């Protein structure tokens, strides 16, 4: 996933901002695992005290709190934390569509983009396999190119299917569906 939860305009930092402004850590707690709650509450309490010491102290306290919650959020995903990213990074076309779908309840635009992309990729990959199939008997190099493209389509399809059925952060597979690499 493109950087999003670790950006200054991402959902984790926005929840942290709302928590600081409201004077309650509750909203941001949902973005990290339960085991992280004591550390978040401690960081929140410290940031809340320091924020009143002036503009620079508020900015530093907020930034420190953002780093803490994003780090703990990332740890909960099983992902590394490598610092906060600036606001305004390109997250690609899907994240904004997913956010709009969540806000509006209308899935049509997101579904259409995802469906169109899958259809285009399947068609492109299959066309490549078929193109190479016409030359595969020519020599071993052509046979290897065909095998590589054929396996690419199969393994890509397998991973896509697993991703569609599995959790976003890969913590577990849905019942009865393997998401391991084969091929």
Q: What is the mean pLDDT of the chain?
A: 90
Task: Give residue-wise pLDDT tens across range 35-86.
Answer: 999 999 999 999 999 999 999 999 999 999 999 999 999 999 888 999 999 9
CB contact set of 9 (below 8 Å; sequence gap of 6+)? 87, 88
Which tokens in the block code for residue 75?
């740890």
- Residue 181 banded pLDDT, cuts 50, 70, 90: very low
Arithmetic mean of pLDDT, 79-102: 91
pTM over 0.75: no
Check residue 58 and give its pLDDT.
Answer: 97
Which tokens in the block code for residue 117?
């992309």
7 pairs with which residues across the strands?
85
Check residue 183 and give its pLDDT.
Answer: 40
Check residue 180 and give its pLDDT.
Answer: 39
- Residue 111 banded pLDDT, cuts 50, 70, 90: very high
Which tokens in the block code for residue 72?
């703990």
Task: Give residue-wise pLDDT tens across range 128-162.
Answer: 999 999 999 999 999 999 999 999 999 999 999 99
CB 19 within 8 A of CB 44: yes
Check residue 121 and give its pLDDT.
Answer: 97
Q: Helices in the chain by DSSP H: which ranges?
A: 11-22, 26-29, 37-51, 55-77, 94-104, 108-133, 140-165
The alpha carbon torsion through 135, 136, 138, 144 (nearest 10 deg) reads 130
Check residue 179 and give its pLDDT.
Answer: 38
Domain ranges of the chain: 11-77, 94-165
């Amino acid at each position: 996933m493109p950087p999003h939860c670790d950006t200054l305009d991402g959902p984790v930092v926005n929840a942290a901002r709302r928590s600081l402004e409201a004077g309650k850590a509750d909203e941001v707690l949902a973005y990290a695992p339960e085991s992280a709650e004591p550390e978040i509450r401690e960081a929140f309490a410290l940031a809340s005290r320091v924020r009143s010491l002036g503009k620079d102290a508020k900015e530093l306290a907020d930034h420190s709190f953002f780093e803490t919650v994003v780090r703990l959020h990332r740890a909960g995903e099983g992902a590394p934390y490598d610092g906060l990213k600036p606001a305004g990074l390109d997250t690609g076309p899907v994240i904004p569509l997913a956010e709009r779908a969540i806000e509006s309840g209308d899935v049509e635009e997101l579904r259409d983009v995802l469906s169109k992309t899958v259809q285009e990729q399947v068609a492109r990959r299959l066309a490549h396999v078929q193109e190479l199939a016409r030359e595969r008997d020519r020599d071993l190099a052509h046979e290897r190119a065909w095998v590589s493209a054929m396996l690419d389509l199969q393994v890509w399809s397998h991973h896509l299917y697993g991703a569609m059925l599995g959790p976003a952060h890969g913590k577990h597979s849905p019942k009865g569906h393997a998401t391991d690499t084969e091929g």
